[in-house]
């Protein structure tokens, strides 16, 4: 399941192109077309938005900091992004366009 890939990565498991393929296959098998489209787009912003949608549609929003974690990582590249010690970013619409805004519980498009 996609949530397992996300949580495994958060727990330190390897995340690589096979993981992206696993997300794509799961999206295809369960007709999450927005996930497949995001993977094919090779657009990081679209991928993050699709993962946010997946989290919300499947009632995983109760997992602490899950949306912040999605924003913190690159999902179409292997490995973890370098951290700048700002994992709990508290983003605002002016910080990063087209981003998940935790304080408002929504994705905004500028």
List the one residue out of 37, 12, 27, 87 whose CA is nearest residue 57: 27
Taken in order 35, 40, 45, 47, is the CA torsion positive or negative?
A: positive
Q: What is the pLDDT of residues 83-106, one digit of tens each?
A: 333 344 444 444 444 555 555 555
pLDDT tens-digit readout, 45-71: 999 999 999 999 999 999 999 999 999
Q: Could you tell me how many residues make up the chain?
A: 110
pTM to 2 decimals?
A: 0.71
Write down the domain spans for the chain. 14-107
The DSSP output letter for 90 is -
């Amino acid at each position: 399941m996609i949530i397992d890939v996300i949580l495994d990565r958060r727990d330190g498991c390897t995340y690589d192109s096979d993981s992206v393929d696993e997300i794509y296959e799961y999206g295809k098998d369960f007709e999450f077309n927005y996930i497949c489209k995001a993977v094919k787009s090779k657009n990081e912003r679209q991928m993050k938005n699709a993962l946010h949608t997946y989290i919300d549609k499947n009632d995983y929003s109760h997992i602490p900091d899950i949306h912040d974690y999605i924003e913190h990582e690159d999902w179409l590249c292997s490995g973890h992004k370098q951290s700048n010690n700002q994992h709990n970013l508290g983003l605002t619409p002016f910080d990063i366009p087209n981003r998940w805004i935790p304080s408002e519980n929504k994705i905004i498009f500028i």
